[in-house]
């Protein structure tokens, strides 16, 4: 009985830090370093750990800050802080400990002024979103996007202090991808209880609502969503035009065709997502997982000429395997975390 209780408690802590999605932030920080030429496995592992610690800090405090809002939703009552399985004090201790160790590792392995400065600003921007994000809806998604932009840039700065246009474009792609995922997808996923709790997100302000299990999305939301996706696609095309990649001017027609096909598939999934009539959180989360996976795959496939097939395949398998395996372990469903 005690063993089962201990196992349950440990699982609750892993749910609190959203261990299933660790691969997202760690892949971003690793890509920042890999794009700039880092191939030392020991240093890449250190970066992975720093990314893990940053993930723990951000998501633990996010759940802490959103506690009152989350309590308004019956579907979120099993979240560790909402259910009381983990105390608010323990959540704060976990977050602070993660931050301390992230800075210690950076100081030991990457003692560069630029890296340390970027990491400090990343933490500040992340905390700003966690505690004030739903109070400043018009820019909150850009704040969290900024945090991921800086996280990617941090990874690059651990390799060289001379950053080029290539890495800035990669960081911008993550920036606008996160703005979409957090603002549109996340906003629609939570619109039922956000509206009840009076939380002001970009989609609630633009008129999204749920009435009698029917999801209503305004034309403003559809238009804004399309603009964000067009910007993402434009940046992907621009990335392929960089001299280090030289994709669109080459004769690599197969890779060009694969990227175009992936973009078309992403657009189709996005269309289905924006045309959901019945508010079904399970279906919404499946479409979000599919869309997020496709947008991530497109980035890495576009970077294939400089990363090489081994690294790209590893990162893709790592991201998908980590997400599905730990979703299954923590929530019993490979594509539906309890968030």
Does a structural domain hold residue 11? no
Chain centroid offset of residue 166 CA: 21
Does a structural domain hold residue 168? yes
Query: Of 200, 122, 211, 191, which Cα lies nearest the Cα of 158?
Result: 122
Does a structural domain hold residue 1? no
How high is the pLDDT of residue 75? 67
CA distance 90 to 112: 32
Does a structural domain hold residue 6? no
The count of other CB atoms within 10 Å of the CB of residue 17 is 23
CA distance 339 to 188: 13
Residue 38's contacts (CB-CB under 8 Å, 6 or more residues apart) are 44, 47, 158, 159
How high is the pLDDT of residue 89? 92
Q: Quick check: pTM over 0.85?
A: yes
How high is the pLDDT of residue 5? 77
Does a structural domain hold residue 149? yes
> 170 with 30: CB under 8 angstroms?
no
The mean pLDDT values, 10 residues at a time, for the chain of 339 residues are 67 90 91 96 97 94 83 76 89 95 97 96 91 77 93 96 94 95 87 67 84 86 94 96 91 94 95 87 85 91 95 92 88 66
How high is the pLDDT of residue 285? 83
What is the torsional sign of CA 151, 157, 159, 165? positive
Does a structural domain hold residue 173? yes
Chain centroid offset of residue 266 CA: 17
Domain of residue 305, residue span = 16-331
CA distance 69 to 265: 34
Does a structural domain hold residue 177? yes
Total structural domains within the chain: 1
How high is the pLDDT of residue 337? 61
How high is the pLDDT of residue 194? 66
| Secondary structure percentages of the chain, helix, strand, coil, to 5 | 80, 0, 20
How high is the pLDDT of residue 198? 60
29-57 CB burial, b ≥16 within 10 A, e <16: bbbbbbbbebeeeeebebbbebbbbbbbb
How high is the pLDDT of residue 1? 44
Does a structural domain hold residue 337? no
How high is the pLDDT of residue 96? 94
How high is the pLDDT of residue 2? 47
CA distance 332 to 171: 33
CATH number at residue 309: 1.10.357.140
């Amino acid at each position: 009985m005690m063993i089962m209780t201990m196992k349950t408690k440990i699982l609750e802590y892993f749910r609190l830090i959203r261990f299933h999605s660790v691969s997202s932030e760690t892949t971003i920080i690793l890509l920042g370093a890999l794009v700039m030429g880092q191939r030392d496995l020991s240093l890449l592992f250190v970066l992975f750990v720093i990314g893990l610690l940053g993930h723990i800090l951000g998501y633990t405090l996010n759940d802490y800050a959103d506690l009152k809002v989350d309590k308004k939703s019956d579907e979120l009552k099993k979240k560790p802080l909402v259910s009381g399985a983990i105390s608010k004090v323990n959540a704060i201790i976990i977050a602070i400990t993660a931050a301390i160790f992230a800075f210690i590792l950076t100081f030991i392995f990457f003692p560069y002024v630029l890296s340390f400065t970027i990491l400090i600003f990343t933490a500040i921007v992340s905390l700003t979103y966690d505690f004030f994000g739903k109070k400043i809806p018009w820019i909150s998604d850009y704040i969290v996007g900024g945090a991921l932009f800086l996280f990617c840039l941090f990874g690059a700065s651990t390799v060289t202090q001379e950053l080029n246009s290539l890495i800035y474009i990669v960081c911008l792609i993550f920036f606008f991808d996160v703005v979409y995922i957090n603002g549109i997808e996340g906003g629609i996923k939570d619109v039922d209880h956000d509206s009840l709790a009076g939380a002001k997100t970009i989609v609630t302000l633009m008129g999204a609502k749920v009435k009698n299990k029917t999801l209503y999305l305004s034309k403003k939301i559809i238009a804004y969503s399309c603009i964000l996706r067009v910007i993402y696609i434009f940046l992907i095309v621009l990335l392929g035009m960089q001299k280090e990649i030289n994709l669109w001017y080459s004769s690599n027609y197969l890779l060009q065709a694969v990227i175009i096909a992936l973009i078309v598939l992403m657009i189709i999934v996005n269309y289905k997502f924006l045309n959901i009539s019945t508010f079904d959180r399970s279906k919404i989360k499946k479409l979000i997982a599919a869309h997020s996976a496709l947008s991530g795959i497109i980035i890495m496939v576009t970077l294939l000429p400089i990363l090489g097939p081994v690294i790209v395949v590893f990162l893709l398998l790592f991201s998908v395997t980590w997400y599905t395996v730990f979703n299954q372990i923590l929530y019993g469903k490979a594509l539906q975390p309890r968030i």
